[in-house]
Copies of this chain bind each other. A is one copy, B any other.
Amino acid sequence: MDTAGLDALLLTTEPEFRYFSGFLTQFWLSPTRPWFLVLPRTGSPTAIVPEIGAPLLRRTWVPTILTWPSPRPRDEGVSLLVEALSGLVPPSGRVGLPMGPETTVRMPMADLLTVQTALAPRELVDATAVVKSLRMVKSEAEIAKIRYICRTASGVFDAVPELVVGGQSLEDIFRAFKVDLLRAGADDVPYLVGASAPDGYESVIAPPDQRPLTAGDVLMLDTGATFDGYYCDFDRNFSVGPASAAAGLAYDTLFRATEVALERTEVGTTCSELYRTMRQVITDDGFASGNMGRMGHGLGMQLTEWPSHTVDDDTELRPGMVLTLEPSVTYGDGAGMVHEENVVVREHGLELLTGRAPERLPELRS
């Protein structure tokens, strides 16, 4: 904050609030109430939250908790927030608020404008870089949580060929997979998307439908399960009956693209280098890249976090960064495939957090 010239940070979203406070609740699903955490450059944080949140927030380390009876649309925490910031930031000062890529401000826009006007001449400035630089590098405690949920989900994926057979609907498969994840130790399964289609699939973000698994399909399940507020994010592919030549080749290419990335990545590698490494394998094999716009990303408290493995993200990898490797290809008439692993950057290369996908596309009984 010194370097960025910020007198205070104002945080409004679930991961930002939780990262600095330890406050974990699913209540953020309700859009009714805003929550504010103010971190001054010196001194301790102040939380400004609806009364309903105070009992749980008092279990965290945050020493100052201001509350209002919410919902109260005519003053939804606004006057308390203005008062707190006015006391902490001099009139010539700057309040940092994440406003850049992959951020949002979680409060009504009309209220934000009111706060901005009331704080003038204090400036609201972008603080994405401050929050991003901290959150991109995980502590060992964070890595342990992510490793746990990656291993847990890997075990459940390994059992899929014993449980899933042709004829089952995607809805039934998704339901059974979530149950197995919970029983294996996941706290929640906020994210499970996938597809099953001949030779491969086009959409990688669809909910399940009632179409039965059919011989010749490639089934893909992609899950973000959580443990203590931390995500895994990876998928696995399965052939329903023997794989078609196209699906087998696509899988082989994606497996090798990942393998090369696992071998060649080290501290200081940039995300764009990592992208080009994977893309080279894909284009050498005559495939086109998929529609995902990147070949992996950060993860942690959110399903996806900075950085992105794209052609122009020049973020240098540092020890402790947790990332996905996620090459994808398209082929034929709207078919495609994506392959994903989760890793953590170490002093000497990458540590795999997921159990490595099988070298050949695994087969389900059709």
Question: Contact between A304 and B30 (Cβ–Cβ < 8 Å)?
Answer: yes
Question: Contact between B193 and A27 (Cβ–Cβ < 8 Å)?
Answer: yes
Closest CB in chain B relative to A108 CB, distance in Å: 5
How often does this chain occur in the complex, in copies? 2
User: How far apart sit A271 and B339, CA to CA, in the bound complex (Å)?
Assistant: 51
Question: Contact between A97 and B70 (Cβ–Cβ < 8 Å)?
Answer: no
Instruction: Given A99-B109, A104-B106, A183-B175, answer yes or no on A308-B203 (Cβ-Cβ < 8 Å).
Output: no
**A293 interface contact, C-beta 8 A:** yes
**A56 interface contact, C-beta 8 A:** yes
Contacts of A206 in B (CB 8 A): 25, 55-56
Question: Contact between B302 and A30 (Cβ–Cβ < 8 Å)?
Answer: yes
**Total residues of chain A contacting the partner, CB 8 A:** 69
User: How far apart sit A297 and B73, CA to CA, in the bound complex (Å)?
Assistant: 14
Contacts of A190 in B (CB 8 A): 26, 29, 188, 190
**A292 interface contact, C-beta 8 A:** yes
User: How far apart sit A29 and B204, CA to CA, in the bound complex (Å)?
Assistant: 14
Closest CB in chain B relative to A220 CB, distance in Å: 13
Contacts of A29 in B (CB 8 A): 190-191, 224, 302-303
**A52 interface contact, C-beta 8 A:** yes
Interface residues as binary, A53-68 with B (CB distance below 8 Å gives 1, 0 otherwise) = 1111000000000000
Partner of A110, one of B73, B100, B182, B193: B100
Closest CB in chain B relative to A182 CB, distance in Å: 5
Contacts of A193 in B (CB 8 A): 25-27
User: How far apart sit A207 and B18, CA to CA, in the bound complex (Å)?
Assistant: 14
Contacts of A188 in B (CB 8 A): 178, 189-190
Question: Contact between A109 and B105 (Cβ–Cβ < 8 Å)?
Answer: yes
Counting from the closest, the 9 A-B pairs by CB-CB distance are A99-B109, A55-B203, A27-B205, A73-B101, A30-B304, A55-B202, A99-B110, A56-B203, A51-B291
Q: Residues of A with Cβ closer than 8 Å to B?
A: 24-27, 29-33, 50-56, 69-73, 76, 97, 99-110, 112, 126, 175, 178-179, 182-183, 187-193, 202-207, 224, 291-294, 297, 302-305, 308, 310, 313, 334
- Jot down 30 A-B pairs with beta carbons below 8 A, ordered by A: A24-B207, A25-B193, A25-B207, A26-B192, A26-B205, A26-B207, A29-B302, A30-B302, A30-B303, A31-B104, A31-B305, A32-B297, A52-B205, A53-B205, A55-B202, A56-B203, A56-B205, A56-B206, A69-B293, A71-B102, A71-B308, A71-B313, A100-B108, A100-B110, A101-B108, A103-B109, A104-B108, A105-B105, A175-B183, A190-B190
